[in-house]
Amino acid sequence: MYTLNCKGRLLVMDRPWVMGIINTTPDSFYEKSRKQEIDEILQVAENMIQKGADILDIGGQSTRPGSKRISIQEEIDRTAPAIEHLMHEFPGALISIDTFSSGVAKAAVKAGAAIVNDISGGNMDDGMISTVASLSVPYICMHMQGTPDTMQKNPHYENVTETVLDELIQKIHHCRTAGIHDIIIDPGFGFGKNIPHNFALLKTLNAFSIIDRPLMVGLSRKSTIYKTLHTTADHALNGSTVLHTIALMNGADILRVHDVKAAKETVDLFMAYRNA
């Protein structure tokens, strides 16, 4: 069991959480997650909250392989107003900002976000870790080999789990030294990893328990699922549920998902199984 201090709210993680994905982008890999109009964002958020989402993850910069980089101001313009409206309509909601930019993180937390979710673990903005420390919010530190525009160009590891684990341990030391108290780790499925790498990570996910921090998993509708099943992201819900179940059994504490209802049901069944 873990606790997180989210801008003065002490939250207890006594069961796995579900994080719902809301992308304020026109080019994220899963088309149905793209929401750019405020009314549409509010409607999706309300549905996710009603279905049991513990966190709403708002992102304004697509990080799919080969995605186009936008300016910091454009990313702020896409996310900060959305977060302000969400906090007005759903004041009890827990919102994370999905960004690798310290400037965006600062603007989002000012708007109401209470967690920073950084795919780069601070590697794409030298000021990110010190900024998060100054904001006094939890930090989701993800492992990524390369950058979104290069990460899937022949990624290589001698041992993917050992490498990711070692690099996350080093990152956590850096974060704690900088003054970040609440850290969540994410091995970064699909970020500089090919399909065999992703399955190897999933199979050995329990190894990350040595870090003793909440473990987030982002597998929802990713290419590891739909390419393995010879289908598309639109038809990858069942595959996502299967891998989410495996992730929970191997120690995942947070599922980052497109489909909140299905993920929440997966958590409920897992808890019934674990407590039997």
Q: Which residues are catalytic?
A: 222, 256
d(CA 222, CA 139): 23
Residue holding tokens 């302000």? 84
Residue holding tokens 């009314």? 39
Helix (H, G, I), strand (E, B) or coil at 140: strand
d(CA 205, CA 248): 9
Q: Any idea what DSSP says for residue 250?
A: T
d(CA 189, CA 91): 31
Question: Do strands 95-98 and 55-59 pair parallel, antiparallel, or not at all (unpaired)?
Answer: parallel
Give the contacts of 110 (CB within 8 A, at least 6 positions apart).
Answer: 80
CB-facing half-sphere around the CA of 125: CA atoms within 13 A: 19
d(CA 188, CA 217): 7
Strand ranges (DSSP E) for 9-136? 9-13, 17-23, 55-59, 95-98, 115-118
Give, for 6, the enclosing helix (H) or strand (E): strand 2-6
